Amino acid sequence: EVQLVESGGGLVKPGSSLKLSCVASGFTFSSYGMHWIRQAPKKGLEWIALIYYDSSNKYYADSVKGRFTISRDNSKNTLYLEMNSLRSEDTAMYYCAKGSLGYWGQGVMVTVSS
């Protein structure tokens, strides 16, 4: 059974940094591209980052480009999202998702507020 478990969220002040993790199981993690998608409270879905299976390519939404970094450690079956210079508009539930968004984690909440 595919499982994706995010962690690392919390309440931080504007300008702060945070690093999210997503531990994968139930599939060959090193064979799939992985994504981060977020959802602001009461809002729709916003794709924010993709990393290829071998980390050879990374893509970002303009809203996070230059501030967020996606990475992975295939030896640990873990996906990461390093978030810097956080803003109030980054407040959202953050989901990791596998491949063609066929499986999603339960999400982790990030709140940016002073």
Closest listed residue to residue 93, CA positions, set 48, 34, 59, 63: 48
Least Å distance, CB 25 to other proteins, is 16
Least Å distance, CB 34 to other proteins, is 13
Which residue has 């999400």 as its token pair? 107
Task: For other proteins, give the closer residue by CB, 81 or 105.
Answer: 105
Phi, psi of 113 (to 5 degrees): -155, 145
- Interaction site with other proteins (CB under 8 A): 35, 44-47, 50, 59, 61-62, 95, 100-107
Least Å distance, CB 110 to other proteins, is 15
Using the Cα atoms of residue 91, residue 52, residue 32 and residue 23 in order, give the sign of their dihedral.
negative
